[in-house]
Amino acid sequence: MELFLDSADIEEIRDLAKTGLVDGITTNPSLVAKSGGDFKTLLKEIAAVIKGPISAETVAPKAEGMIEEAKKLLPIAENIVIKVPLTWEGLKATRALSREGVKVNVTLCFSAAQALAAAKAGAFYVSPFIGRLDDVGASGSELLQEIRAIYDNYPDSIETRILAASIRSADHIAEAALAGADCATAPPKILRQIVHHPLTDKGLAAFLADWKKTGQSIL
């Protein structure tokens, strides 16, 4: 499963890219607003660091506007993916853009039926928001399983990739992988958590204490 970083913080992106864990980037208007930077400049900076897909979200309410915004965003870098909402207008834009060979990430997916509609419109990615579903008492992992089952029923006609979003914890990342998601996007704080475990820390401390007792040095 590919791991994307859900962030518009260029310093965090640069730092985490050094780990080799970051396969791509997802952004949204809220993240851009939080960064305080110019959107197009941020995308250029991110593209200089990340060679994988970078989702850039449109904000126009109508399909025509989304398509026009996509034309402005695509020249920024060759790995830009256009992000649109899972609405009728978003699906219209997805259909038009995908027919021109543009990769589209259809976001704000909360049901398997929506995911099917996105696939039929030609989405390259569909982004189910599993954390927000868990927040309201539903099951995000069950949604991922349902979408995976539907897509797998039609391997000859559906090529849309499942991008698990709204990740709240390291466990969510594992759940997404178990459910068969192709990718998961997580904020920097959560991505940093995936390597931490108290038993790892305890074990390392014990190893180092025992090594110190030997009085040896590897150097």
| Tens of pLDDT, residues 22-33 | 999 999 999 999
Question: pLDDT at position 199, please?
Answer: 97
Annotated catalytic sites, by residue? 83
On the 0-12 / 13-18 / 19+ scale of CB atoms within 10 A, 142 is: middle
Question: pLDDT at position 150, please?
Answer: 98
Position 158 pLDDT exceeds 90: yes
Average pLDDT of the residues in 61-84:
98
Domain parsing of the chain, residue ranges? 2-214
Q: Report helix, strand or coil for 57.
A: strand
Average pLDDT of the residues in 98-107:
98
Average pLDDT of the residues in 89-116:
98
Question: pLDDT at position 187, please?
Answer: 97
Average pLDDT of the residues in 34-44:
93
CB atoms within 10 A of CB 168: 16
Position 151 pLDDT exceeds 90: yes
What digits encode the pLDDT tens for the residues 159-215? 999 999 999 999 999 999 999 999 999 999 999 999 999 999 999 999 999 999 999
Does residue 91 contact residue 115 with C-beta atoms inside 8 Å? no
Question: pLDDT at position 37, please?
Answer: 87
Best CA proximity match to 116, nearest among 90, 154, 67, 83: 154
Question: pLDDT at position 206, please?
Answer: 97
Stated pTM of the model: 0.94
Helices (H), 18-154: 29-35, 39-49, 63-73, 88-99, 112-121, 130-135, 140-153
Question: pLDDT at position 77, please?
Answer: 97
Question: pLDDT at position 110, please?
Answer: 98
Query: Is 3.20.20.70 the CATH classification of the domain at 2-214?
Result: yes
What digits encode the pLDDT tens for the residues 181-194? 999 999 999 999 99
Position 132 pLDDT exceeds 90: yes
Q: What is the mean pLDDT of the chain?
A: 97
Cα 4 from Cα 18, distance rounded (Å): 14
CA end-to-end distance (rounded Å), the chain: 38
pLDDT band of 17, cuts 50, 70, 90: very high
pLDDT band of 136, cuts 50, 70, 90: very high
Average pLDDT of the residues in 110-137:
98
Give, to the nearest 10 degrees, the angle between helix 10-17 and helix 39-49.
10
